Amino acid sequence: MRGVSIVGIGQTPVGEHWSLSVRHLAHGAIAAAMHDAGIDRADALFVGNMLSGSLLEQEHLATLIADFSGLRGIEAAKIEAACASGAAALRVGCMAIASGMHDVVIVTGVEKMTDTPSGSTTAGLATASDAEYEAAHGITFVGLNALIMQRYLYEYDVPMDAFAGFSINAHRNGANNPNAMFQRAIGLKEYVNAPMIATPINMMDSSPVCDGAAALVLVPSERASEFTVGQHRGPVQILASASATDTLAVHDRKDPLFLEAAYLSSQRAYLQGGITPDEIDFFELHDAFTIMSALSLEATGFARRGEGWRMAAEEEIGVGGRLPISTMGGLKSRGHPVGATGVYQIVETVQQLTGQAGKNQVANARIGMAQNIGGSGATIITHLLGV
Amino acid sequence: MGIASAWRTKQQRYSLRGEVCPDCHQAIFPPRDICPHCGQQAGPVHAMSGRGEVFSFTKMYSVPDGFKNQRPYTVALVKLEEGPMVTAQLTDLNGDDVNIGMKVEMITRKLREEGSDGQIVYGYKFRPALAVAR
C-alpha cells in the first residue's frame, strides 16, 4: 500500500449562504484546494454529502460538481454516511491513492441546509436514524442525543452545567477562525440561559444548521514533493484512516453511553499509525452536541467512563491545554454543515500541522487526530495526520 | 412513512410483535434476520407484553414536519420487560413528572398525520402504568 499525503486544502466560510447553491459552495472549496496544491487536473473527485437528495432534490451530485468545477471527464461519486460523509469520502480517496488506482484525488465535503424550512431540514437530518423505528416516532437528531445525555446525567450523577466548558471552548476558538459561523466567545451565563431544544440539550449544547464546503487534494506520499507549488510548507501525511459501525438505532445498543464505533475506529487507527493516545497533540472531535465530546473522549482513551465531562475546562481542552479539542471552533462554533464537517476537520488539522492556525495555533503540533461521527454514533471514522 | 412501509410494519406498531431467538432465547424487537445477541438465525414470532420502564427521556420543543401539532412532546427509550429497548412517545402524562425507572405500558395512538389527504399512521406510545397493574 502506498502512503497518502494531503498537498492542498480549501474551505468556504460556514454560514447561511442564501446567495450560493451547493455547486457554488463545492466549487469554491475545490478551487481553493487545487490552487493550494498547484494543480489544474485530478484523476477523481469524491464528494461527501448527506442531504442533497432529500433537501435539494439533487442526487448525482458529484458529477454535477465535477462538471461545474471544470473537471468534466474525471471519475466522480458521492459518498454518504450521514454526518460522517465527509470522512467517508476522504477514506475512499485514501483507498484510491493507497491502492495505486489514482495519483491525484480531490475530496470535498459539501452541505446546503438552509434552502429548506427548518422542519424539513430537521426531518432530513432524522433520516440518519432508523426510519421505521426511530424517526417514525417523532424523534429528531437532537432528541436522540438528548436521550443519551439525560441518561448520562442520571448514571454518573453529573451537574446540569457540566458540559458548558465544551461549548465555551468551541466559541473561544471559533472567535479567531475567519471561516467560523459564530466568531464570538460565550460565557457560562449564555450557556445556562440558552433555550431548550430537547431536554436536557439547549441551544448552546447544539451545533447549528448551516451551509459550507471544504476540500482536500490527496497524492501518494512518494510524490508529495512534486505538489508544493505556491505553498511554503511540507505535505501532511495521513498516518491512519479507520472506520467502524455500531447499531443504527440508539435503542439497540448494549450500552447507549459508550461509543463502541469510536472505540473501534480509534483503536484501529492507533494500531495502523503505530501511535498511542499520549502522542496526539490535538483532537478535532465531533462536538455536534456537548454530550458527544464527553463520550468521544471516553471512547478514544482520553478519559475514563463517566468522566469525559471533567475535561471540559480550559487547562484541559483549550489551545494551550493538555489535549486541545475543537481548535478552530469545532462543530459548535465553526458550524456543522453535516456532510462537509469531516472534511473541515481535516482542513483544520492540516492548518494546525502546517502552522496556519493563526491565534489558535497549537504549539509544536506534530500529530493530530480527527474523528467524524455519523448518526448518533452509528458510523465513526478516525484519521490520524502527521508531519 | 410510505404506505407500503406502514402496512409492512403494522404488527410491530400495533402489537409490539417481535421474535425470540431459538438459540439464545433472548427476545428481539423489532424483528431481524440475524439475532443481534448470538448471530444465529433469528427466531419465531413473539409478542412483547407492552410493559416496561423508562430508560431515558427527552421533552422535545423543536420537531420535524408531521409532528408540529403535537409539540412539545416527550420521547423515551423504553426498556421492555422482555429485554429489548424501543424509542417511543410517552402519552397521558397529565402533567406528571417523568423519571428514569418509571413503569410504563404500551397503548396504541395516532403517531402522525401525513397532510390532509395522506395516511394517518397509528402505533405504540407508552403511558404511565395504571395503578391496578403496578
**Could you tell me if B70 lies within 8 Å of chain A, comparing CB atoms?**
yes
Q: Which CATH architecture does the domain made up of A119-207+239-386 adopt? A: 3-Layer(aba) Sandwich (3.40)
How high is the ipTM of this complex?
0.96
pTM tops 0.95, yes or no: yes
**Quick one: fold of A4-117+209-227?**
Peroxisomal Thiolase; Chain A, domain 1 (3.40.47)
Look at A138 and B77 and tell me if their CB atoms are within 8 Å.
no
**Could you tell me if B20 lies within 8 Å of chain A, comparing CB atoms?**
no
Distance (Å, rounded) from C-alpha B129 to C-alpha B103?
6
Q: Which pLDDT value is given to residue A332?
A: 98
Distance of CA B14 to the CA centre of its chain: 9
Q: Which pLDDT value is given to residue B94?
A: 86
Phi, psi of A102 (to 5 degrees): -135, 155
Q: Which pLDDT value is given to residue A229?
A: 59
Distance (Å, rounded) from C-alpha A273 to C-alpha A386?
10
Look at B123 and A118 and tell me if their CB atoms are within 8 Å.
no
**CATH number for the domain formed by residue range(s) B3-133:** 2.40.50.840
Residues of A in contact with B62 (CB under 8 A): 118, 122, 140, 142, 197-198
Q: Which pLDDT value is given to residue B77?
A: 98
Q: Residue B122 corresponds to which cell in the numbers above?
A: 397509528
- State the best of A51, A118, A122, A132 to mutate against chain B, taking most chain B CBs within 10 Å: A132
**Could you tell me if A292 lies within 8 Å of chain B, comparing CB atoms?**
no
Instruction: Give how far B11 is from chain A: nearest CA, Å.
Output: 12
Every domain of chain B and the residues it spans:
3-133
Residues of B in contact with A247 (CB under 8 A): 36
Question: pLDDT truncated to tens, each residue of chain A (387 aa)?
Answer: 999 999 999 999 999 999 999 999 999 999 999 999 999 999 999 999 999 999 999 999 999 999 999 999 999 999 999 999 999 999 999 999 999 999 999 999 999 999 999 989 999 999 999 999 999 999 999 999 999 999 999 999 999 899 999 999 999 999 999 999 999 999 999 999 999 999 999 999 999 999 999 999 999 999 999 886 555 567 999 999 999 999 999 999 999 999 999 999 999 999 999 999 999 999 999 999 999 999 999 999 999 999 999 999 999 999 999 999 999 999 999 999 999 999 999 999 999 999 999 999 999 999 999 999 999 999 999 999 999
Q: Which regions of chain A does DSSP assign to beta strands (E)?
A: 4-11, 44-48, 75-79, 105-112, 196-198, 201-202, 211-220, 236-245, 282-284, 367-374, 379-386
* Angle (CA) A313 A317 A320, round 5°: 110
- State the best of B3, B14, B56 to mutate against chain A, taking most chain A CBs within 10 Å: B56
Give, as one character, the DSSP assignment of residue A252. G
Q: What is the pLDDT of residues B5-40, one digit of tens each?
A: 999 999 999 999 999 999 999 999 999 999 999 999
Residues of B in contact with A197 (CB under 8 A): 60-62
Residues of B in contact with A134 (CB under 8 A): 87
Every domain of chain A and the residues it spans:
4-117+209-227, 119-207+239-386
Residue by residue, DSSP assigns A175-195 as TT-TT-S--S---HHHHHTSP
